[in-house]
Structure 1
Amino acid sequence: MQEEEQEFNQNVFFEFEEKYNLFSNESKGIFYWDLIRFELFYHLLWNHKSNVKNEQAVISKKQIFKEIKSFITFLFSKKVDFLFFTASRNKISNSKAFDQNLADILNAVPRRSYYAFESFERSKEKWFYENTLFNPISIFRRIAKIFYKKNEDYSELISLIKKEFSNSSFTNEDINRVIVDFKIDFFYYSIIFKIKKPKAIFITQNGIQKGLFQAGKKRNIPIIEMQHGIIDSAHLAYSYSRLIDYKQNQIYLPTYFFSFSDFWMKGLNFPIQKNISIGNSYFFNSQDNSQDLKEIENNATGLLVASSDVFGENLKNLAIDFASINKDIPVYFKLHPNQFFEKQYYIDQFKNFKNISVYSNESSVYELLEISKAILVIQSTALYEAYHLKKNAFIYKKQTYQRHEHVFDLPNINLINNAGEISEAFDKEFIEDENTENLFFKNFDSHKFNQFVNSLS
């Protein structure tokens, strides 16, 4: 009898890492497995290709010159206690772009004690924080790669990957690309940290920034990463096998991790110095920051669909099915930042449905939840945001929906197979449960933060 093929997941991947002792792989002083594992895992899991070509924004020579000039000016400016690496994906009420994950920390430190490197919003006029400059790392990479012509040979590793995962199309070029980016990033951030000598570095990751982590480690500067989304055993940036004894420099991680609440790190093996449940006032106070609750309840008639690149097609089809049988219910299709470039594609897909609207960053998840009665996801941090706002949640049983299994048994969580099942349960009242009150997001603990900063002195 033929053995049934095992479903690919993080446990299968961990077994692969354990079997071949991959964290010991070294090339010219770099333990490179930790650099490529995240990208390889999601390559094997998804191998996703968009329906739309992501045209890279053309940056004018004038803009490049301005960003390099700002960077050089920064290098020769006065030293500061803190460096912040922000990813300002949300708009605040005055249309300024802000980082909801670092906002509490930026508000807690004196405004002249930091510089912020922005990695998402390029327009200076839209920056919410003072002392901000756009991080020109992408420009630096382009220039530096002129000098990185030689590719190393990782064919033995490629053969191992292919042997265990026959569907892999991961190449020697992919491995070289990741490692070269790491080397360039490490060199770039080492220059910054050597000159500026900050007391601490705070970061919202925008991508995987292990070169930055290693540069801070080499100069004994603590790096604190802020939680910005789902953290669980299937997120390979934050999840490692318990059966491996990780040696010095085999993994590249922040020194500390600031989480939304205690909920997120339970049962997770993330081998950093310390996790600190610091909270987040943006998420915690979402109801207080919105309209009168009575008005919200009256306006909350829609269905919010929280999309992302790999779930977009399945959610698109389900949204169309739901909109077809519920023409009086507005559907708000919210794109993830990794699919903003696909906005016109989805607008075209929904053109025959007047009750479906597509959003990129014109409105935040919370602004759309204010006018929504429920949320639909496959896998999204927005599910927890909705639950915190006392909205019913529908989880579509497709792809990696089981990453939400830790909430399957909670009231107000509905696992569904089709649009009809959403319609049947759409008007259900939210069931209050004191055990889940503020489970996912606690308020920012300024006292704990001040204690932490004082401990750095």
Structure 2
Amino acid sequence: MASSPSPRSEAEVTAVLEEFERRHRVFGLTIGGISLWRILRFEISFTMQNLGLSRPMASKREILASMFSAVRQLFVAPRGIQYLGATMSSALRTFDGRGWRDIYFDPIIDGIGGGGKMLYVDAPGFEQHARGAVRQPVFNDTSVVALSAVLGRIFGVRGHDDVFQTLSRTIVNDLGLPEFTAERIRRKYSVLIWRSWLYRIVLRRLRPGCVMIPNSGQFALFLAARALGIPFVEMQHGIFSENHPDSLPAEALEFDQGAMLLPDFLTVYGSWWGDLLKDSALGRLGRIREVGASWIESARALRQRQFSTDPDRPVVTLTSQGTGVEQLADLVAAFLKLYPGPLQFNIRLHPGYEIGTSHYESRFSGDDRVKLWPGNSRPDTFEMIAMSDLHLSVSSACHYEALGIGTPTGVLALPGHELVLDLVRRNDAALVDNPAALAMMVKNRAWPTVSNRVSDQYFRRDHIENIRALLAECGDMGKIN
């Protein structure tokens, strides 16, 4: 039996894709003013990285319930929202005395009046969170996502066979991805068209002054907003560097810019990210804004207010990413044998890719120093990092979030860690080569300290005021439109 291809880093795949784009000029293959390559680029990159990740889907019951309630929600939803945050159920990760809170938009709505949320169910395990949310969405757009997927398959776009076939043939022959058939590309485009049409119905009803999304790739919502003259803001999610497949290179600007589906603004966490993206398409257009993140500011305050190290019992929090689980578990097991002393070792599972604790349960159930935390459990990930002596992961956005909070972070040298080696080269994170090195680090408490300067470059302060200034820019755009 042939072995599966080895995983490749995001940077390795990006280099291949940019050469492919220069050679075949695939950004120029458009239908209806939309670049087909643009809407495929993330999926192509994800496939080529071969990470072995599979995101569990929401339950059919949740999807059906959202579809039945959609019409009622449209009738009762308020009109003329100043700004609309298009979020997801897995963002309901922090809990206060009133219930679950969305990490992206609830703090903004608390600080800046006139906003509302639209939510779709993106992962199982958050149904109770959604029911117990402090602030309910004005519309659940799971129905839009589900219905458009059906309509796009039944009523696909006709014609343009030559364009679909040309792109498919180029991808198959040059990148070696036979699964990207002309029919698959046509189906993806058809779903996009139906989804943007449904979103236009929703946005016409809500009439927001601005749409904000906490991730990339929401092309249907972008097309709907653009058709109605509504400013569109894409917000950084996770590690968004010049190598992210949705961060288009400046060369894409040689083609029809409207076909590239570029947001009006991209918000990033801090100056480090802005510098990384300055030569990207959005950087060249001057559309990047540094705004920080509310969940980091809350966790910073918690650490400053409550954290005090216990010299006899260090707290280490490892954030798992759903990939390389066996190797990660082997490293942790070897470390625990080498470090017999008192310890609280938290393993926090990924909220989207890891359901339950089965990967680690059998390995560590006999060691009372280890505690497994599902991704949807309390306390939230950022609280745990804030109340830890040391954070560990392989190549997670949590490395940067730990630094923003002020918690030292260590990079475990397992496959994929190359993505965050810049942190090690800058001496902002420690590289952990093997279990013995980790045991020595914990024994000697030899992790680096995090200065305010380091923290601020990854996550700018005064998030709410930065968002307020961004919304003012959106307001000026809306007047022009």
Same fold, TM exceeding 0.5? yes
Structure 2 equivalent of residue 369 of structure 1:
385
1:68-93: CA deviations, max 9, x gaps? 24433246x43322222123241223
Give the whole-Å Cα distance in 2 for the aligned partners of 1:216 and 1:300.
52
Give the whole-Å Cα distance in 2 for the aligned partners of 1:204 and 1:291.
27
1:22-76: CA deviations, max 9, x gaps? 10112355321100011101100125155xx94651316972464224433246x
Is residue 187 of structure 1 aligned with residue 197 of structure 2?
A: yes
How far is 1:289 from its partner? 2.6
2:234 maps to a residue whose letter is: E
Is residue 305 of structure 1 aligned with residue 318 of structure 2?
A: yes
| 62-71 or 403-412, which deviates more | 62-71
Is residue 265 of structure 1 aligned with residue 274 of structure 2?
A: yes
Is residue 126 of structure 1 aligned with residue 135 of structure 2?
A: no
Structure 1 equivalent of residue 287 of structure 2:
274
| 281-290 or 213-222, which deviates more | 281-290
Indicate the SS of the match to 1:73.
helix
Give the whole-Å Cα distance in 1 for the aligned partners of 2:452 and 2:168.
51
Is residue 357 of structure 1 aligned with residue 363 of structure 2?
A: no
Structure 2 equivalent of residue 160 of structure 1:
170
Give ranges in structure 1 of 5+ residues lacking alignment. Answer: 1-5
Taking structure 1 as reference, are residues 148 and 322 closer, same or farther at Cα in structure 2, changes over 3 Å only? farther
Is residue 288 of structure 1 aligned with residue 301 of structure 2?
A: yes
Structure 2 equivalent of residue 84 of structure 1:
85
1:350-393: CA deviations, max 9, x gaps? 43444332222213222222443212222111111222344332
How far is 1:179 from its partner? 1.9
Taking structure 1 as reference, are residues 198 and 62 closer, same or farther at Cα in structure 2, changes over 3 Å only? closer
How far is 1:244 from its partner? 5.3
Contact in 1 for aligned 2:317/2:388 (Cα 8 Å): yes
Taking structure 1 as reference, are residues 378 and 131 closer, same or farther at Cα in structure 2, changes over 3 Å only? closer
Taking structure 1 as reference, are residues 303 and 283 closer, same or farther at Cα in structure 2, changes over 3 Å only? same
Contact in 1 for aligned 2:325/2:359 (Cα 8 Å): no
1:292-346: CA deviations, max 9, x gaps? 4453556972322222133434323322222333344332221222213253343
How far is 1:446 from its partner? 4.2
Contact in 1 for aligned 2:394/2:411 (Cα 8 Å): yes
Give the whole-Å Cα distance in 1 for the aligned partners of 2:36 and 2:67.
33
Identity of aligned residues (%): 16
How far is 1:16 from its partner? 0.7
Of 107, 112, 122, which aligns to 2:110?
107
Taking structure 1 as reference, are residues 82 and 167 closer, same or farther at Cα in structure 2, changes over 3 Å only? closer
Normalized per residue, which structure has more helix? Answer: 2
Give the whole-Å Cα distance in 1 for the aligned partners of 2:175 and 2:150.
35
Indicate the SS of the match to 2:257.
coil
Give the whole-Å Cα distance in 2 for the aligned partners of 1:280 and 1:12.
32
Q: CA RMSD in A?
A: 3.1
Contact in 1 for aligned 2:152/2:187 (Cα 8 Å): no
2:414 maps to a residue whose letter is: K
Indicate the SS of the match to 1:375.
strand
Contact in 1 for aligned 2:100/2:132 (Cα 8 Å): yes
Give the whole-Å Cα distance in 1 for the aligned partners of 2:107 and 2:455.
21
| 247-256 or 12-21, which deviates more | 247-256
Is residue 254 of structure 1 aligned with residue 263 of structure 2?
A: yes
Taking structure 1 as reference, are residues 176 and 297 closer, same or farther at Cα in structure 2, changes over 3 Å only? farther
Of 39, 60, 68, which aligns to 1:35?
39
Give the whole-Å Cα distance in 1 for the aligned partners of 2:449 and 2:465.
33
How far is 1:155 from its partner? 4.1
Indicate the SS of the match to 1:15.
helix
Give me the TM-score of the superposition, normalised by structure 2: 0.82
How far is 1:290 from its partner? 4.5
Structure 2 equivalent of residue 147 of structure 1:
154
| 170-179 or 25-34, which deviates more | 170-179
Is residue 424 of structure 1 aligned with residue 440 of structure 2?
A: yes
Structure 1 equivalent of residue 60 of structure 2:
58
Give the whole-Å Cα distance in 1 for the aligned partners of 2:63 and 2:41.
35
Taking structure 1 as reference, are residues 305 and 169 closer, same or farther at Cα in structure 2, changes over 3 Å only? farther
Give ranges in structure 2 of 5+ residues lacking alignment. Answer: 1-7, 477-481
Of 96, 99, 104, which aligns to 2:99?
96
Taking structure 1 as reference, are residues 140 and 297 closer, same or farther at Cα in structure 2, changes over 3 Å only? farther
How far is 1:266 from its partner? 0.8
1:303 maps to a residue whose letter is: V
Taking structure 1 as reference, are residues 228 and 432 closer, same or farther at Cα in structure 2, changes over 3 Å only? closer
1:267 maps to a residue whose letter is: L
Structure 2 equivalent of residue 392 of structure 1:
408
2:262 maps to a residue whose letter is: L
Contact in 1 for aligned 2:214/2:234 (Cα 8 Å): yes
Give the whole-Å Cα distance in 1 for the aligned partners of 2:297 and 2:39.
34
